């Protein structure tokens, strides 16, 4: 029931500022043990899941979420996702069923983490998700690989912020 | 000039200059490429459109033909854009892009794995015939060709060149739409391909504040032919590629393979009776044995399924019989406004019902989700990579006051394209035996 879990997480905040941001947040949650698990590959902006992108498309196509374009700067448009009124109603109805209650229990512990991550800056999330992707037992090595991959210097303030965030989320698994 | 001629239903003749490209003919004659004669281009579409019996081989030759035509046209004006081996790599990649396909093409990809990555591995494998031939031309050629085919663009690959092999408008799509349309008899896939190729230019520019790059562009006068191409894709996906009957039988093949794999894992005798090379793929989860893979064709799989029709295992024999006799499957299409969790209860009831009827529900009730974008407008916030010719079809209007670049779906004269490009085409269907249709439909109401 990945679509329910994703919809539930999105419904817990007012708005998610971009799909890229959503990708990185869900990846970090997945690393902290969230049941919403998708397959990821390493892409230009860090871990990316085509499966997750498909889930967002489906939520949009069934009108559970709304996506509104917002001009950030010339030629850069961000798509803000938020739960529709219809979507909120459908979630409420589903959560009254036995299946719905059980799935709600599975996702509940991750709702506050989702809200916390949604407040983070995009660049920090991008770097943190990449560090978590490279992490294979050695945090410093993961940071070094991320720095090389994302072309940032070791010691860069955002990289350090991301490093702390990645450790916090992967540790809580 | 010595030429090798091939008759072709789409282009009339396809030629290979055997003096200029003797190695191309050698590539064509490798077992890896010849195998494509025995891989159907459209999987089980022949179960719906009886004429769709054409092969990946004729399609690969078609892609080579278009690439050759485009490269010679482009070199007339832009020869400086071609570094050493660029032309050779493009021609080789166009011929080899599909060598990783498993039987019935995309129909069994879920079972046997991604064809592009496999193709790249075969090309890079030092013991493959293809690798040896490419290396005869240059040590660097195998990697250059593999980089063009591989799904994820690597640093150093010229994106405008990669876009000719794999993008929203590439030689692959230009060939398969018209070829599949012609062979299936579904005429919606036809468009003016000659005009697309012969008005395709190269323009330097930076878009969206990115670094300066070379873009494949079309002049404004070609916008309607590009629109025609995008609509052709829309019609072909709706009518042919995602046809409910075809998709049902393709899912059935996957179910047959899954059942056989389950039996092979438990039953030594079953395993020993498998036709080579299926024993390799059904006995292990290792799909990377390319030598065994090169023996795997539609014919082998059909022969094995014919044998399984008489299998002692009732599920396997029944599923195989259903496929070979084209015994209809009933379907339920999930309404677009419903999410998975909203239909979960009904689906669970159907599974219970089939279980009570003594049927292994995992093999008799299966879901299929199709999804594609006929043209995906580039969105910096959504896309996984920077905007380039791989991600966008660009018009270039030098008389325009701005940069002159227009992504096709943003052009004010093509607003109607939004009707088919805004949302991906997503359909979710469930298939089940026709003899249980009435009861299952009742449960799904």
Q: What is the pLDDT of residues B395-408, one digit of tens each?
A: 988 887 778 888 88
Is the separation of the CB atoms in B136 and B23 below 8 Å? yes
Find, among B125, B173, B86, the residue nearest to B293 by Cα.
B125
For range B100-108, the mean pLDDT: 93
Three-state SS at B214 = strand
Q: Are the Cβ atoms of A76 and B207 closer than 8 angstroms?
A: no
Q: Does A59 touch chain B (CB under 8 A)?
A: yes
- The 3-state DSSP class for residue A135 equals coil
Q: Check CB contact of A67 with chain B, cutoff 8 Å.
A: no
Are residue A61 and residue A135 in the same domain, yes or no? no
Instruction: For residue A27, give every residue at least 6 positions away whose Cβ sits within 8 Å of its Cβ, in sequence order, or none.
Output: A40, A46, A47, A49, A129, A132, A133
Q: Are residues A66 and A110 in the same domain?
A: yes
Task: Indicate the pLDDT class of residue A173, thresholds 50, 70 and 90.
Answer: very low
Residue B370, strand partner residues: B427
Residue to substitute from A57, A89, A151, interface B, most B β-carbons within 10 A: A57
Question: What number of other Cβ atoms are within 10 A of residue B121's Cβ?
Answer: 16
Number of domains in chain A: 2
Q: What is the DSSP letter of A4?
A: H
How many C-beta atoms surround the C-beta of residue B358 within 10 A? 7
A79 and B209 in contact by Cβ < 8 A? no
Do A107 and A136 lie in one domain? The reply is: no
Q: B16 phi and psi, to 5 degrees?
A: -125, 125
Contacts of A45 in chain B (CB under 8 A): 384
**CB-based contacts of B335: which residues, under 8 Å, 6+ apart?**
none
The reply to whether A17 and A69 lie within a common domain is yes
Which of B195, B184, B183 lies closest to B228, judged by CA? B195
Determine whether the interchain pair A94/B380 forms a contact, defined as Cβ–Cβ distance below 8 Å. no
Q: What is the largest CA-CA distance in chain A?
A: 51
In chain B, the largest separation of any two C-alpha atoms, in whole Å, equals 74
Please check whether residue A103 touches B, CB under 8 A: yes
Closest-CA residue of A relative to B403 is A75
Residue ending a domain, among A78, A93, A119, is: A119
d(CA A129, CA A132): 5
pLDDT at A72 > cutoff 70: no
Question: Do residues A171 and A158 both lie within one domain?
Answer: yes
Task: List CB contacts of B104: < 8 A, sequence separation 6 or more.
Answer: B39, B40, B43, B44, B250, B253, B298, B301
Q: Between B344, B379, B423, which is nearest A79 by CB?
A: B379
Global pTM? 0.85
What is the spatial distance between Cα A85 and Cα A57, in angstroms, rounded to a whole number?
Answer: 18
- Asked whether the beta carbons of A12 and A150 are under 8 A apart, the reply is no
Domain range for A165 is 120-173
CA distance B201 to B74: 7
Contact with chain B for residue A129, Cβ under 8 A:
no
Q: Tell whether A18 lies on the interface with B, counting CB pairs under 8 A.
A: yes
**Which residue in A has a C-alpha nearest to residue B381's C-alpha?**
A78
Report residue B338 as tokens: 């419903």
Q: pLDDT grade, residue B384 (50/70/90)?
A: low
- How large is the average pLDDT for residues B7-34? 95
* DSSP label of A19: H
Q: Which of A37-51, A102-116, A140-154, B144-158 has the lowest mean pLDDT?
A: B144-158
**Residue carrying the six token digits 């709304």:** A66
CB pairs A-B closer than 8 Å:
77
Report pLDDT for B337. Answer: 83
Same domain, residue pair A115 and A133 = no
Residue B378 has pLDDT above 90, yes or no: no
**Partner-chain contact B345 A90, CB within 8 Å:** no
* A85 lies in the same domain as A114: yes
User: A61 and A96 share a domain?
Assistant: yes
Shared domain for A17 and A91, answered yes or no, is yes
Q: What are phi and psi of A120, to 5 degrees?
A: -75, 160
What is the number of other CB atoms lying within 10 angstroms of the CB of residue A25? 25
In chain A, whose CA is at the least distance from the CA of B155?
A: A44
In this complex, the residue of A3, A43, A78 whose CB is nearest that of residue B341 is: A3
At B35 the pLDDT is: 96
Give the nearest chain B residue to A80 (CA atoms): B381
Q: By C-alpha distance, which of B105, B111, B124 is closest to B60?
A: B105
CA A112 to centroid of chain Cα atoms: 13
CB of B440 closer than 8 Å to CB of B353: yes
Same domain, A89 and A15: yes
Q: Measured between alpha carbons, how far is B411 from B34 in angstroms, rounded to an integer?
A: 43
Residue B208 has pLDDT above 70, yes or no: no
Residue labelled with tokens 């959503």? A22
Indicate whether B431 pLDDT > 90: yes
The pLDDT assigned to A151 comes to 86
Residue A68 has a CB neighbour count (10 Å cut-off) of 10
Check whether residue A6 and residue A90 sit in a common domain.
yes
Q: Which of A84, A100, A119 is the last residue of a domain?
A: A119
Same domain for A83 and A20: yes
Tell me the chain A residues in contact with residue B152 when contact means C-beta distances shorter than 8 Å: 41, 43
- SS3 letters for B102-165? CCCHHHHHHHHCCHHHHHHHHHHCCCCHHHHHHHHHCCCHHHHHHHHHCCCCCCCCCHHHHHHH
Q: What mean pLDDT value characterizes chain B?
A: 90
Which chain A residue has its CA at the smallest distance from B383's CA? A20
Yes or no, beta carbons of A3 and B338 under 8 Å apart:
no
**Distance between B31 CA and the closest CA of chain A, angstroms:** 32
Q: Does residue B294 carry a pLDDT above 50?
A: yes
Q: Which residue of A has its CA nearest to B371?
A: A54
Res. B230: pLDDT tops 60: yes
Most confident of A82-86, A134-138, B174-178: B174-178
């Amino acid at each position: 029931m990945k679509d329910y879990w994703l919809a539930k997480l999105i419904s817990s905040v007012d708005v998610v500022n971009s799909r890229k941001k959503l990708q990185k947040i869900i990846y970090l949650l997945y690393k902290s043990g969230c049941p919403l698990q998708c397959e990821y590959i390493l892409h230009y902006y860090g871990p990316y899941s085509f499966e997750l992108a498909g889930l967002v498309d489906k939520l949009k196509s069934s009108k559970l979420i709304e996506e509104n374009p917002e001009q950030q700067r010339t030629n850069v448009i961000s798509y803000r996702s938020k739960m529709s009124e219809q979507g909120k109603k459908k979630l409420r109805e589903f959560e009254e069923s036995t299946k719905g209650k059980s799935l709600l229990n599975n996702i509940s512990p991750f709702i506050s983490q989702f809200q916390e991550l949604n407040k983070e800056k995009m660049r920090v999330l991008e770097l943190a998700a990449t560090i978590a992707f490279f992490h294979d037992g050695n945090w410093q090595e993961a940071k070094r690989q991320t720095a090389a991959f994302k072309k940032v210097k070791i010691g860069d303030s955002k990289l350090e912020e991301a490093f702390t965030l990645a450790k916090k989320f992967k540790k809580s698994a | 000039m010595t030429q090798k001629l091939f008759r072709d239903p789409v282009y009339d003749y396809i030629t290979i200059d055997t003096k200029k490209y003797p190695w191309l003919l050698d590539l064509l004659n490798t077992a890896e490429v010849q195998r494509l004669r025995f891989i159907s281009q459209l999987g089980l579409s022949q179960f719906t459109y009886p004429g769709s019996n054409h092969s990946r081989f004729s399609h690969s030759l078609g892609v080579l033909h278009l690439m050759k035509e485009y490269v010679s046209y482009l070199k007339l004006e832009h020869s400086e854009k071609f570094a050493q081996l660029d032309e050779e790599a493009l021609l080789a990649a166009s011929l080899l892009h599909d060598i990783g396909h498993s039987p019935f093409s995309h129909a069994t990809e879920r079972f046997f794995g991604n064809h592009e990555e496999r193709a790249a591995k075969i090309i890079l494998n030092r013991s493959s015939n293809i690798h040896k031939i490419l290396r005869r031309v240059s040590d660097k050629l195998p990697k250059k060709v593999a980089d063009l085919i591989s799904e994820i663009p690597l640093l150093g690959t010229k994106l405008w060149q990669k876009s000719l092999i794999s993008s929203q408008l590439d030689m692959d799509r230009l060939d398969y739409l018209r070829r599949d349309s012609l062979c299936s008899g579904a005429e919606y896939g036809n468009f003016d391909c000659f005009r697309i190729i012969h008005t395709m230019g190269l323009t330097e520019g930076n878009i969206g504040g990115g670094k300066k790059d070379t873009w494949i562009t079309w002049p404004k006068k070609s916008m309607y032919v590009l629109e025609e191409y995008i609509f052709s894709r829309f019609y072909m996906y709706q009518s042919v590629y995602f046809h409910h009957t075809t998709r049902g039988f393709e899912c059935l093949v996957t179910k047959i393979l899954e059942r056989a794999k389950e039996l092979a894992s438990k039953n030594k005798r079953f395993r020993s009776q498998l036709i080579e090379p299926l024993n390799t793929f059904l006995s292990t989860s290792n799909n990377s044995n390319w030598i065994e893979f090169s023996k795997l064709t539609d014919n082998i799989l059909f022969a094995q399924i014919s044998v399984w029709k008489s299998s002692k295992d009732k599920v396997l024999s029944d599923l195989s019989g259903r496929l070979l006799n084209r015994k209809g499957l009933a379907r339920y299409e999930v309404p677009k406004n419903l999410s998975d969790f909203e239909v979960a209860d009904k689906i669970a009831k159907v599974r219970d019902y089939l279980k009570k009827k003594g049927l292994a529900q995992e093999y008799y009730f299966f879901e299929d989700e199709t999804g594609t974008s006929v043209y995906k407008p580039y969105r910096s916030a959504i896309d996984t990579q920077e905007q380039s010719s791989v991600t966008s079809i660009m018009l270039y209007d030098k008389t325009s006051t701005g940069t002159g670049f227009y992504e096709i779906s943003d052009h004010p004269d093509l607003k109607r394209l939004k009707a088919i490009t805004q949302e991906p085409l997503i359909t979710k269907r469930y298939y089940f035996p026709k003899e249980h249709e009435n009861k299952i439909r009742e449960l799904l109401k």
